[in-house]
Amino acid sequence: MEKFLLKNIENPDSADINEYLKAGGYKSLSKALGIEPKDVVEEVKNSGLRGRGGAGFPTAMKWKFAMADPKFPKYLICNADEGEPGTFKDRPILEKNPHLLIEGMLISGYALGSEFGYIYLRGEYPDANDILNGAIKQAYEKNYLGDNILGKGVKFHLSVHQGAGAYICGEETALIESIEGKKGQPRNKPPFPVNVGAWSMPTIVNNVETLSNLPYIIEIGGEAYSKIGSNECPGPKLFSISGHVERPGVYELPMGISLKDIIYNHAGGIKNNAKLKAVIPGGISTPVLPPDSIDCAMDFVSMPKAGSMLGSGAVIVMDDSVCMVKVTHRALKFFEHESCGKCVPCREGTDWLRKILERMESGKGTEGDIELLLDIAGNMSGKTFCPLGDGAAGVVTAMIKHFRDEFEEHIKNKKCSLADSY
């Protein structure tokens, strides 16, 4: 497949605006500015583009909600808080192709009637911060940003807002709180950000990859774009593959490609020909899949049928040297560390689950612990303020579902048989 999102990134100067322009950059912007904003939205609607952050919400629909709100100004925020462990798909865009994102935001801003954009960038990407700021500066110099873009009377201002190490800020309302200078704790919904978002104004929060698809949609047209990938979720998709594969990395592949295909063809199969034990298909918040379940189509609609979720498309591959209790424990340590503390079940549940798993992994598990883990997870699932707690509970439930014997073995043998393998 022809690469679009990762086009040109082998060029060491790909982040430079001149290189971007040479490769045909900002042409889609000119094209978009030549048509009515509502027609831009129509193209996006026809493309069938869905949000790439994890929820898979139709982008044009989200836009229309914000546009229907009479309040101005409207804010456009790019969610570059790529924090879901296992995910590193946005990073090549941010570091190698920043103008693609800026062009996407400009197109989006024009369509929405938004004149102010912010890129909420995770604090863990200091390089991307420098690169984005440099790119924004260049874009201002070349009049792609400012009060009269390309002389078309269109205004758009953009700046980077650096996060500071909080996974929860990937959740859009927490992200908005964080931009407003507060703790990143999710807000109550409704009202939704499309009506009452940043600074109480209509706000669109779109993922880096989502926004970066826009120039392509404008370039080839929504209709043509919709033919790429799977029917219900068209377009190219970035997958981050990590763990025990021969060729880990970010791959731009059509949406709906089989997970098995990704692992065995694109990523070169299991490292050192070891035995596959488990795959986390969409970042650690998504339920783990055993080897016999990986022949599934990677898109927002098919993955739930396979017992997991597409999430951010972050595939973590584990061979049989990996202890699943240890992985579960590490995941819970993460969730406990990242729980924002607002709601009781997540705040206390992640702590409790983590403590039990820690005990189990160190050989101090007791009879009934597995049932207790499941019950605690049950008391969290669906009761938390935001999906973070659901994710934590889901990890435990799925791990026990597929690897119960390993948990039992820890309790029975009072130790982890794979403790020293990595």
Partner 1 sequence: MITLTINEKEVTLDKPVSILEAARQAGIKIPTLCYHEALKPYGGCRLCVVEVERMPRLQSACTLMAADGMVVTTESEVISKVRRGILEFLLINHPLDCPYCDKAGECELQDLVNKYGPTVGRYKEEKRKVPESHKDQILARNMERCVVCTRCVRMCNDVQGASAITIIGRGDRSRMEPFSSASFNCEYCGNCLTVCPVGAILSRLYIHSFRPWQVDKEVETICSYCGVGCSLVVQVRDDSIKRVIPEMGLGVNKGLLCSRGRFGYEYINSRERLKTPLVKKNGRLEESTWSEALNLVAEKLSEIKKGEGGSAIAGIASPRCSNEDNYAFQKFMRMVCGSNNIDSVSRTGFAAAQKFFEALLGQGITANIIEGLKNSEVIFVVGGDPTSVNPILGLSIREASRRGAKIIVLGNAKGLDRFKNVQVIPPVFKDVDALEELLAGVSRVKGVRGEKLDIDQGIRALSEKYSEKMSLDGLEELKYALLDSPSTSIVFGMDLVQRANGHRAIFAVAGLTYLLEARLYLLSDRPNEQGLIDVGCVPDMLPGGRPLNIHDFKTKFETAWGGSIPDKDGVTLLEIIEGARNNDIKALYIMGENPVFNLPDGPFIKDALGSLDFLVVQDIFLTETAEIADVVLPALGWSEKSGTYTNLERRIQLQKKAVNASSGMEDWKIISEVSGKMGYKMAYSEVEDIMDEIAEVSPLYRDLSYREIAKGNCLWPYHGEPLRGEIHELPAMAESAGNYGSDFYLALEKPLFHSGTLSRRSQALMKICPEPTLKISGAAAEKLGMQDGDRVKVSTSTGSSEVSVSIDESIKDNRVLLSNNFEGRGVFSLLTYKLDPVTKAPGIEGCEVEIQKG
Partner 2 sequence: MFNETVLKEIEEIKARYPDRRSALLPSLYIAQREFGWLSREAMESVSKALNVPEARVRGTASFYAMYKHKPVGRHLIQLCTNISCMILGAEKLVDFLGTKYDVQPNGTSRDNRFSLVIMECIGACGTAPAMLVNTDFHDNLSEKRIEEILDKYK
Check if the beta carbon of residue 117 is closer than 8 Å to that of residue 157.
yes
183 is an interface residue for partner 2 by CB under 8 A: yes
- The SS3 assignment for 239 reads strand
Cα separation values, 262 from 209, 249, 267, 341, Å:
19, 11, 6, 37
- The yes or no reply on residue 327 touching partner 2 (CB under 8 A) is yes
Span from 116-124, 137-145, 206-214, 228-236 in contact with partner 2 (CB under 8 A)? 116-124
Q: Which is nearer to partner 2, 151 or 181 (CB)?
A: 181
| Residue 250 is a binding residue for partner 2 (CB under 8 A) | yes
Nearest partner of 111 among 267, 223, 218, 253, judged by Cα: 218
Pick 64 or 330: Cβ nearer partner 2: 330
CB of 341 to partner 1, least distance (A): 4
> In the complex with partner 1, which residue's Cβ is closer, 63 or 167?
167
Nearest to 325 by CA among 402, 244, 242: 402
**Computed over its alpha carbons, how large is the radius of gyration of the chain?**
22
Q: Choose which of 88, 144, 300, 385 interacts with partner 2 (CB under 8 A).
A: 88
The yes or no reply on residue 414 touching partner 1 (CB under 8 A) is: no
Among 243, 389, 391, 394, binds partner 2 (CB under 8 A): 243
382 makes contact with partner 2 (CB under 8 A): no
Closest approach of Cβ 111 to partner 2, in Å?
22
Residue 352 interface partner, choices partner 1, partner 2, none, CB cut-off 5-8 Å depending on type: partner 1
Q: Say if residues 178 and 137 touch (Cβ distance below 8 Å).
A: no
Among 85, 215, 349, 394, binds partner 1 (CB under 8 A): 349
Task: Name which of residues 198 to 237 contact partner 2 (CB under 8 A).
Answer: 199
Bridge partners (DSSP) listed for residue 78: 119, 206
In the complex, minimum distance from the CB of residue 8 to partner 2, in angstroms, rounded to a whole number: 19
CB 115 within 8 A of CB 157: yes
Q: What letter would DSSP give residue 188?
A: P
- Looking at beta carbons only, is 61 or 419 nearer to partner 2? 419
Give the nearest distance from C-beta 190 to partner 1 in angstroms.
8
Q: Which helix (H) or strand (E) holds 166?
A: none
According to the 3-state scheme, what is the secondary structure of 78-125?
A: EEECCCCCCCCCHHHHHHHCHHHHHHHHHHHHHHHCCCEEEEEECCCC
Residue 220 C-alpha from the chain's centroid: 25
**Contact pick of 15, 112, 135, 166 for partner 1 (by CB under 8 A):** 166
What's the CA gap between 409 and 386, in Å, rounded? 33
User: Is 71 one of the binding residues for partner 1 (CB under 8 A)?
Assistant: no
Query: What CA–CA distance (Å, rounded) separates 62 from 359?
Result: 45
- Binding-site ranges for partner 1 (CB under 8 A): 166, 183, 188, 190, 336-345, 347-352, 355-356, 359, 366, 372, 378-379, 382-385
- Binding-site ranges for partner 2 (CB under 8 A): 82-88, 91, 122-127, 159, 161-167, 178-185, 199, 240-244, 248-250, 280, 284, 314, 316, 318, 321-322, 326-327, 330-331, 334, 337-338, 340, 422
